[in-house]
Every structure is written in structure tokens, then in C-alpha cells.
Amino acid sequence: MKLLEKMKGDGAARPPRPELRVIALATLGASLAIALLGWLTSHANTPLILGSFGATCVMVFGFPDAPFAQPRHVLCGHVLTALIGLIFLHFTGPCWWGMGLATGTAIAAMMCLRIVHPPAGGNPIVIFMTSPSWSFLWFPTLSGALIIVALALIYNNLTRVARYPKYY
């Protein structure tokens, strides 16, 4: 019964809706970032985009002051989790339990290193579902994350009074 009671939640109020200007700027920033990655991918014949980059854009353009949205978290979180996913795939092969262990290990590593970026937690899953080569670490993971961070640095500092990032 205690478990069911806990599942009812605390009854806290939902957070307030962001101002329309903030929503519009987040929408435009995310649209520009994903469109740029898509355009570069189509012209470079090199993958520069991951599904998790959509969630990264939610953070860096919608909530740029949050710890999870800081450049260090974005870059290191994506690269670290992709590396862990590739290592587990190499040693376990594409199996369900390897995917689970890789994802759990990636989360633990991000937490221990204080570089948690929640969208990056999906990278080991993508790796196990697609079985990419080791180059996946550089293209699309690092290169795509670098492009998003570079655009976020320019965009957020042009469109907001507050500075981005809060720290590196």
C-alpha cells in the first residue's frame, strides 16, 4: 500500500509556463540547429545527427541555464555515453543485457563525473540498435554535439540578456 500511496505524488503545482518569447526563441533555436545538422549531413555524406540531439536542443535552447544544458555536459555526456556503448557492444555483441548494462553504466559514469546530460543516456541504445563502427564516436556524436553547442553559444548570447554558458 505504501508504494501505491507514493505513486499518487506530492500534489505539487506544475511549473509555470514560459513566456511566449522564450518559447518562440527555443523553437527557432532548436529548428535552426536540427535543420543545420540535417543540411550538413545531406551535403557532407557524413552523419552528423542523432535522435537524442532533438532532446539536447530542448535543453540548450529551452532551458539554457540548467546544469544539464551546459556545454561540458552536452559534449562530454554525449561522447562518454557513446564510448561506453561502443565498448559494451564490442565486448558483448548486440544483446539485450549488454544494452541494459551499457545504458546503466553510461548513466553511472555521467553522474560520477558530474557531466549528466539526459539525452546522452539514449546513445548506448542507439548504438546497440544500429551496431555502428567506432567512427560513430566522432561522426555523428562529437561533431554533431559540437555544432549544437557552437550554435547555442552564438544564438543564446544574441537572443538573451543572461550569459550562456553558466560554466564550462
Q: Domain spans of the chain?
A: 20-159
Q: What is the pLDDT of residue 55?
A: 98
pLDDT in tens, 13-43: 999 999 999 999 999 999 999 999 999 999 9
Report CA 3 to chain centroid distance, whole Å: 31
Alpha carbon separation from 71 to 15, 24, 100, 145 (Å, rounded):
25, 22, 27, 9
Q: Quick one: pLDDT at residue 45? A: 87
Torsion of CA 118, 122, 124, 126, to 10 degrees: -160
Q: Which of 62, 88, 85 is nearest to 136 (CA)?
A: 85
pTM greater than the 0.85 cutoff = yes
| Over residues 131-138, mean pLDDT | 97
**The pLDDT value given to residue 1:** 75
